[in-house]
Structure 1
Amino acid sequence: MCTGACSKVVAVPLYVLALLSIICNIVLFFPDLDTSYAAEDREGKPRITEEVKYMGGVIGGGIMVLVPAIHIHLTSAGKCCANRCGMFLSIGFAAMGVVGAIYSLSAAALGLANGPLCFWSNSENPTPQWGVPFANSSGSYLSDKNMWKWCQRPEDVVEFNLGLFSTLLVAASIELVLCLIQMINGLFGCICGTCSGKE
């Protein structure tokens, strides 16, 4: 496969993954699909999980991957960027995507490890309070569904965060691999050309 065609194969999934990351991060601001928690959080009452505010999906897996995806796609389009110079630049853009994917991956992993912020109580802390009950569990809560009952509000917040942060984690991992592939592809395109007929 020529390097120009490979760029297209890389760019199209990056568009989808970047959009998915942005959507997941935005939805995470509305646990239980309720806007009241975000409103209370803006008023200075912590109600949103801290790792959501890192905007890993919007900034890292979203914008920092979307911009390289556009340039990478242009290198496959047989237009202004489909030449050795364009492929060389795509290495830098792909590196930017790698950084974004790593940021998104780190934020999602941290969100999964610490668990959600919720209104919780258990036998050791019978008085319900807002906090992060699984922060010191080293992620052990993920395999112990009985612990999920500690969170009383937002409803099903553990499953909510688990599903969306896991999606962000997988999306960021794939973005990372695709951007690394494009860095290698860009190097070959810079040396050998793009097979587009316009160098």
Structure 2
Amino acid sequence: MCTGSCAKCLGGSLIPLVLFGFLANILLFFPGGKVIDNTENLSQEVWYFGGILGSGVLMIFPALVFLGLKNNDCCGCCGNESCGKRFAMFTSTIFAAIGVLGAGYSFVISAVSITKGPKCFMDNGTWGYPFHNGDYLSDVSLWSKCLEPVNVVAWNLTLFCILLVVGGIQVILCAIQVVNGLLGTLCGDCQCCGCCGGDGPV
């Protein structure tokens, strides 16, 4: 497969993941599907914006760059018609690396939150984190320690698991583009527009 076509495919795959990341993070601000009276009672990891910043904003730029590579002008520079495409592919590896960092950030934040559990109104009458080292993941009976917001444990666990999966997939896709971009830089794309010779696309 052409390195440009591969990059376009990866970019197209990242777009829906960006949307999932944004949506999941936004929903975390409404634990149990309800508006909370005091935002200080939200889980701390929600404010780290893993889905909005890491899997979202930092992933938009790599996705757009990947999508545009296939149509990038490859007429070249310095008399070398593949030079322009090679430079574009090299640039894509930089954006892919940024994408890996962003998705990795979201992945780590999600993993920490899943292990820590949500902040909630506990059966002792205070707000806090009733779980320890992910013990609630294997013992559903412990979920009763959280009295409010209703269903906050399942809500947070589901959304952070979505962010964990999204971040993991994004890391893989961007890592593939790092390799693909390096191949495109070294070998060039499998087809060039040939516009320097005035022959049009081939």
TM-score (norm 2): 0.88
How far 1:47 sits from its partner (Å)? 1.4
Aligned length: 185
Q: What SS does the corresponding residue of 1:198 show, helix, strand or coil?
A: coil
C-alpha separation in 1, matches of 2:29 and 2:189: 42
TM-score (norm 1): 0.89
C-alpha separation in 1, matches of 2:191 and 2:155: 46
Alignment correspondent of 2:54: 60
Alignment correspondent of 2:65: 71
How far 1:79 sits from its partner (Å)? 2.8
Alignment correspondent of 2:130: 133
How far 1:187 sits from its partner (Å)? 0.4
Alignment correspondent of 2:161: 166
Residue identity in the other structure for 1:48:
L
CA RMSD of aligned residues (A): 1.4
Give the unaligned 5+ runs of structure 2: 75-83, 195-202
1:1-199 matched pairs, under 5 angstroms = 1-35=1-35, 37=36, 39-41=37-39, 46-76=40-70, 78-80=71-73, 83-121=85-123, 127-134=124-131, 137-198=132-193
Residue identity in the other structure for 1:129:
T
How far 1:194 sits from its partner (Å)? 2.0
Equivalent residues of 1:29, 1:48 under 8 A apart: yes
How far 1:40 sits from its partner (Å)? 1.7
Equivalent residues of 2:72, 2:88 under 8 A apart: no
Give the unaligned 5+ runs of structure 1: 122-126
How far 1:13 sits from its partner (Å)? 1.1
Larger Rg: 2
C-alpha separation in 2, matches of 1:198 and 1:59: 36
Q: What SS does the corresponding residue of 2:41 show, helix, strand or coil?
A: coil
C-alpha separation in 1, matches of 2:137 and 2:25: 20
C-alpha separation in 2, matches of 1:69 and 1:29: 26
C-alpha separation in 2, matches of 1:159 and 1:85: 47
Q: What SS does the corresponding residue of 2:184 show, helix, strand or coil?
A: helix
C-alpha separation in 2, matches of 1:177 and 1:106: 15
